[in-house]
Amino acid sequence: MAHKITLSDILQAKKRIAPYLTPTPALNFKSLDKLFGCELWVKFENHLPTGAFKIRGGINLCSQLQEQGFKGGLIAASTGNHGQSIAHAGQLFGFPVKIVVPENANIDKVRAIENFGAEVISHGENYSYCCVFAENFARDNKWRYVSGGDEPALIPGVGTYALELFEKIPTLDTVFVPVGGGSGACGVSIVAHSVNPAVRVIGVQSSHADSIYQSIKTGKVCKTHSADTFAEGLATLSPFKFTLNILRDELDEIVTVDDDALRGAIRLLLSHTHNIAEGAGAAAFAAAWQARETLAGKRIAVILSGGNLTEEQLIEIIAR
């Protein structure tokens, strides 16, 4: 199925976000090259003001809304990083924002959302309940609902990190990218295949929340009854229609990793790069580690999509 997001859209988004965000580093570590047996680059999206890549999409969306003369409020459902993105972007462009989070949401992400000036509404046991609440509120109060995946303006924004990556390393063979809602993987795929159709883009889901993995493998839209992973950025019970269609077209492969693999990746990233990855942020690295025997001699990149790990989570992971 054809999709409507193009490299031109991502190049336009780059201009919109440039006044607000500086490019994030993509770095190579010789110790990791030796460990993996290949040339490995890490793209550090944890260096953004919200600690995660999604702010790029939020700024692209809010910039366009301002251009269109939008005057209302924004509401979104989020496990944390999408909420930070819309909260921060809303603050930059003067839009009131409400974010609906699950009752067990990452406390650091909730605090960050509040610090960006948004009202946090705690509702329900998982993300799906939050989406229903936010959609109903938007309809009843004439606010604009901002989906985490079915919002087309987000993808060109988050795709700008892939532009930065390929501007620095245009000869990559493979890119590993985490898949929660799928916007980041969509952006990476579109940019990578525009630069070089031979680049392999490998999406990574949690084996404990693998609805997109199942949907791509079966050709059907699959939902899971639980998302039992500490990586809330990967805890997707059902795919978004818009991103799923793009991922089916553009991803070369999709794989899964379990929570133990994520914890191991967090430890390795901390040890070798001195950066903290949250669970979703470590997924690409974990998948590359699992596939390292097939990567010998290649030039690869892994996307560290976010670093919003709580202090308690970090202590627990290091202690294992």
Averaged pLDDT, 7-24: 98
- Share above pLDDT 70 across residues of the chain, in percent, rounded to a whole number: 99
Tell me the per-residue pLDDT of 76-94, one tens digit each, with 9 for 90 and over: 999 999 999 999 999 999 9
- Residue written as tokens 């940019």? 191
pLDDT of residue 3: 61
Tell me the per-residue pLDDT of 222-280, one tens digit each, with 9 for 90 and over: 999 888 999 999 998 999 999 999 999 999 999 999 999 999 999 999 999 999 999 99
- Share above pLDDT 90 across residues of the chain, in percent, rounded to a whole number: 96
CATH topology of domain 7-52+153-319: Rossmann fold (3.40.50)
Q: Is 109 exposed, middle or buried (CB count within 10 Å of its CB: 0-12, 13-18, 19+)? A: buried
> What is the residue extent of each domain of the chain?
7-52+153-319, 55-145
| Reported confidence tier of residue 139, pLDDT bands at 50, 70, 90 | very high
Confirm whether 7-52+153-319 and 55-145 share one CATH topology: yes
Averaged pLDDT, 24-32: 98
Tell me the per-residue pLDDT of 301-311, one tens digit each, with 9 for 90 and over: 999 999 999 99
| Reported confidence tier of residue 206, pLDDT bands at 50, 70, 90 | very high
**How many whole angstroms from its chain centre is CA 91?**
21
Residue 1 has pLDDT above 50, yes or no: no
Just give the CATH number of 55-145.
3.40.50.1100
pLDDT of residue 18: 98
* DSSP sequence for 119-157: EEEE-SSSHHHHHHHHHHHHHHHTPEE--SSS-TTHHHH
Q: Mean pLDDT for the chain?
A: 96
Averaged pLDDT, 294-320: 96
- Residue written as tokens 């077209």? 249
Question: How big is the CA angle at 266 (ends 309 and 187), to the nearest 5 degrees?
Answer: 80
Distances (CA, A) of 94 to 72, 169, 265: 10, 36, 38
Tell me the per-residue pLDDT of 101-137, one tens digit each, with 9 for 90 and over: 999 999 999 999 999 999 999 999 989 999 999 999 9
Averaged pLDDT, 274-300: 98
